[in-house]
Amino acid sequence: MRSGTSRLRNGQHSWDVPLSALAPAGEPANLPVANGRTEPIVAEDQSAPRLPSAASGARPQTHGFSRREFLRWAVAATAVTEFTLAFLPRLGAALQEAVKEYPLVWMQAAACSGCSVSVINTIHPSIKNVILDQILPGHQIFLNYHSTLMAAAGKLSTDTAIETARKNKGKYVYLVEGAVPTLDNGIYGTLGEEDGKPITMLEWVRRLAPDALAVLAVGTCAAYGGVAAAKPNPTGAKGVGEVLKTLHISTPVINIPGCPCHPDWFIGTVSRVLLYGLPKPKELDEFGRPKLYFGKTVHNRCINRDYLDEGVFASHFGEAGCLLEIGCKGPFTYADCPLRQWNSGVNWCVNANAPCMGCTEPGFPDAHSPLYQRR
Ligand code: SF4
Ligand code: SF4
């Protein structure tokens, strides 16, 4: 008789069962599911690299994040599927070479701050470990400006942003969260003052984007306009890439959409830029997103594909079945949510019986509305 428990998975469900209840090794066991069918149950592959998560039983750590732990996490976070652990030594060497060179300036425009909250809530590693000091001794990413996180205020804070750009031409990463209001010369979105006059976000982009190594548009509002640009869009809000085109600024833009942006997508992309420079064109899709995270549709990896194939559709929330009829936009939404999941791997939209709303797509939300009806 075997003792202990094993984590079992069946479609979207997983649970612990006594080993004694399992079929002998090598023999399939079957589990009754909906419609009188049975499906094989399989033990999770414990050898596969995984993000530490509450679901996996790992306890979130807030102190003492070691370099070794970070490197292990970085591999898992940035490349859950595409790379192997053979990449680890190269990543460590590259981190030591590259991280110290690039300050970050993070500005929030027409946004709800949800992307900041999402990224700050990363558990492994904590945002403190990522951007302040404990990743590699002596090698830091400098978050020189973030209007929500920074202690400085007023002139001191705006001077910091300006000085960072002046001293680090071609070396700093300029992050924009939220869309950029453009109507009436951008007066509907301002950040700080100069000579008693508000500085518009449009003006900040005009000043800081040209000399940046890259502009990172964090979240769907920054990437494509998103919620801030939804009809009737009274402020003329636009994605930062579109604004750069209007201003004839040629600095490369990398879009990391999502409403909000997933912390892994953000940290993985920043790491990619700092370690290896700008992504090659073939690494981005037609909407400027890293294919590493946005290369396949949600539908492609969805846990409900069996239901779809068998024609089982949910007609209301909570009913088992593919969520297409109640508005799922997974078939034309590119993101790795089914694989990566949210809240440190705890769950994701469809697994919580909520249709994918297509939050990473350029048309979100107008083109996807009504959100809970089939398109
Ligand atoms: S339509 Fe939505 S719920 Fe159905 S299989 Fe595709 S992604 Fe999953
Ligand atoms: S499943 Fe769809 S709506 Fe949910 S976070 Fe992913 S892309 Fe956005």
**268 and 308: one domain?**
no
**247 and 101: one domain?**
yes
Asked if residues 283 and 101 have their Cβ atoms less than 8 Å apart, the reply is no
pLDDT of 206:
98
Pocket of ligand 2 (CB under 6 A): 298, 333, 335, 337, 348-349, 356-360
**120 and 158: one domain?**
yes
97 domain residue, yes or no: yes
**Domain's final residue, options 294, 319, 342:** 294
CATH number for the domain harbouring residue 263: 3.40.50.700
87 domain residue, yes or no: yes
**72 and 203: one domain?**
yes
Q: What is the pLDDT of residues 243-255, one digit of tens each?
A: 999 999 999 999 9
Pocket of ligand 1 (CB under 6 A): 298-299, 302, 304-305, 308, 322-324, 328, 330-331, 350, 356
- Which residues form the domain of 14? 5-43
**219 and 332: one domain?**
no
Q: What is the pLDDT of residues 130-155, one digit of tens each?
A: 766 544 444 567 788 998 888 888 99
Please state the rounded mean pLDDT for residues 272-287: 88
99 domain residue, yes or no: yes
Comparing 39-53, 90-104, 184-198, 254-268, the range with the smallest average pLDDT is: 39-53
Residue 351 pLDDT class (50, 70, 90 cuts): very high
**141 and 248: one domain?**
yes
In ligand 2, the atom with minimum distance to the C-alpha of 354 is: 4
Please state the rounded mean pLDDT for residues 329-356: 96
Comparing 45-59, 102-116, 266-280, 343-357, the range with the smallest average pLDDT is: 45-59
Residues near 269 by Cβ (< 8 Å), separated by ≥ 6? 216, 254, 256, 290, 293
In ligand 2, the atom with minimum distance to the C-alpha of 258 is: 8
**145 and 280: one domain?**
yes
pLDDT exceeds cutoff 50 at 86: no
Comparing 10-19, 208-217, 334-343, the range with the smallest average pLDDT is: 10-19
352 domain residue, yes or no: yes
**161 and 259: one domain?**
yes
Pocket probe mutation, ligand 1, options 302, 306, 348, max atoms within 8 Å of Cβ: 302
**175 and 237: one domain?**
yes
Ligand nearest to the CA of 299: 1
280 domain residue, yes or no: yes
360 domain residue, yes or no: yes
Q: Name which of 128, 143, 139 is nearest 63 in CA terms.
A: 128
Active site amino acids: 112, 115, 221, 259, 299, 302, 322, 328, 337, 349, 356, 359
Our count of domains for the chain comes to 3
Pocket probe mutation, ligand 1, options 308, 329, 368, 371, max atoms within 8 Å of Cβ: 308
Residues near 311 by Cβ (< 8 Å), separated by ≥ 6? none
**153 and 279: one domain?**
yes
52 domain residue, yes or no: no
Ligand 1 center to residue 106 CA distance, Å? Answer: 35
Ligand 2 center to residue 335 CA distance, Å? Answer: 7
Distance CA 52, CA 47 (A): 13
Nearest-CA residue for atom 2 of ligand 2: 356
CATH number for the domain harbouring residue 367: 4.10.480.10
**307 and 204: one domain?**
no
375 domain residue, yes or no: yes
Ligand nearest to the CA of 320: 1
**303 and 289: one domain?**
no
